[in-house]
Each structure stands twice: as structure tokens, then as C-alpha cells.
Amino acid sequence: KAGVTQTPRYLIKTRGQQVTLSCSPISGHRSVSWYQQTPGQGLQFLFEYFSETQRNKGNFPGRFSGRQFSNSRSEMNVSTLELGDSALYLCASSLGVIQGGWQFFGPGTRLTVL
Amino acid sequence: DQQVKQNSPSLSVQEGRISILNCDYTNSMFDYFLWYKKYPAEGPTFLISISSIKDKNEDGRFTVFLNKSAKHLSLHIVPSQPGDSAVYFCAANYAGGYQKVTFGTGTKLQVIP
């Protein structure tokens, strides 16, 4: 079974631009979560989608948004990029139907904002 | 507000000895805890978990201990192997939180041959 894939793997943008990241979950997984990882901050939860609906949201500004398609693929969008948005963005998928079910992570997209 | 804390950013252990990684949490609502391992340039991979109704869970060389009264959990790796060198993240969530998982900042473990 193929793992979680994320595209692109690396991205360089400038302040004020917008970016869209993509995530394809493991086949059969209906939950997709997004995390931001920065040095010293660990993984910060952004949001979770389940069957095309946002089920949970973390404490990030409205510039961060996402969506999920009927095939469970998910996209994350960041508008008006700031230098502090430079981070590794990780996507994780799971069946999502039980609490505590572990998630399978993709390799991440490394975003650099100049 | 860091609800899951890993106060040791790094740990070095000799091969064959025990590695003990610690994690503290502040949110009493957390009732499920997980450990993930992360190698460079890869996403985290699930290692072991424990429900709050238990105080110990074992899987091969890995054992997680939970002390609810102290809001503390630890991961024991015995014996430690060089391949265990990675960053370990402690994580937690709660009933109804589904996949809203709160992660710690990670502990980088180095196992010295």
C-alpha cells in the first residue's frame, strides 16, 4: 500500500505571496491532518479534515486554510506569506474513526519564505 | 501554552543500555498518549501508544509508562541500538478530539556504538 505523499517537497516563496501544498493520503484513509514543524516548537496542529469536512482546527490565523476533496486528497493554502511561515509542513492520514488512532505521516513540504 | 512538554532536547546513551525519554502534560482532558519517532528528511512514524486506563504498555524493546497523578509519561528503550538514533515526539489527544493531536517539542536521542 502506498504511503502518504506530499507535493512539492521543497518550495521557496517571497513575503506576500500565496502557496498551496498538496497531500494524498493512504488509500482508504478518510482523515487528513496538517501540522507545522518549526525548530523548538515541535509539531503544531493546523487542522484536520474528515470526509471533506473540517473537523478540528488549531490556533493559526485565517491565512492558513485547507480543504479536502471527495477522493480524500487534501490541499493546504497559506496566503500573504510571512517570514515566520518558513517551516516543514507535514500531512498525516488515518482512518479517523476512532479516538487515538495513530496517524501515518508524509515526508513533508519544506517551505522557505524569503 | 505548551500542553505537552519534553524538557530534554537531547539525550546520549551507549549502545545496549537503557534510554529513558520523558514527557509531561498539563491538560487533564488528555486520555490517549502516543510516541512517534522521526528520522531526518522523513515524516514521524508511530512507535507506541497508551490509553489513560493503563499505566504501562510494552512492545518489544519499547515500553511506555504513564503516571496520571503526576501527568507524566516516559518511553523506555531496552536495549538501545544505533538505529534508534532519531528525534522522539510525545503526543496526546482526548476523547472527542479525534485526530487533533498535541505534540511535544521532541527529544533527539543519540545511541553511541
Cell of B50: 497508551
Asked whether the predicted pLDDT for residue A97 surpasses 70, the reply is no
Asked whether the predicted pLDDT for residue A70 surpasses 70, the reply is yes
**pLDDT band for position A100 (cuts 50, 70, 90):** low
Edge-to-edge strands, sheet with A74-78: A5-7, A19-24, A74-78, A64-68
Contacts with A, B 71-100, CB within 8 Å = 89, 91, 93-100
Q: What percent of chain A has pLDDT over 90?
A: 79
Question: Which pLDDT score, from 0 to 100, does residue B31 have?
Answer: 86
Do residues A9 and A110 touch, judged by C-beta distance below 8 A?
yes
Do residues A45 and B102 touch, judged by C-beta distance below 8 A?
yes
Interchain CB distance below 8 Å, B98 and A58: no
Q: Quick one: average pLDDT of A64-89?
A: 96
Q: Which chain A residues are closer than 8 Å to B43 by Cβ?
A: 4, 90, 92, 105-108
Q: Which chain B residues are closer than 8 Å to A44 by Cβ?
A: 103
Cell of A80: 500573504
Do residues A66 and A54 touch, judged by C-beta distance below 8 A?
yes
Amino acid residing at A70: S
Asked whether the predicted pLDDT for residue A101 surpasses 80, the reply is no
- Please state whether beta strands A109-113 and A10-13 pair in parallel, antiparallel, or not at all (unpaired): parallel
Interchain CB distance below 8 Å, B100 and A56: yes
**pLDDT band for position A99 (cuts 50, 70, 90):** low
**Closest among A109, A112, A98 to A29, alpha carbons compared:** A98
Q: Which chain B residues are closer than 8 Å to A58 by Cβ?
A: 100
Write out chain B's pLDDT in tens, 113 residues.
679 999 999 999 999 999 999 999 999 989 899 999 999 888 999 999 999 999 999 999 999 999 999 999 999 999 999 999 999 999 998 876 667 788 999 999 999 99
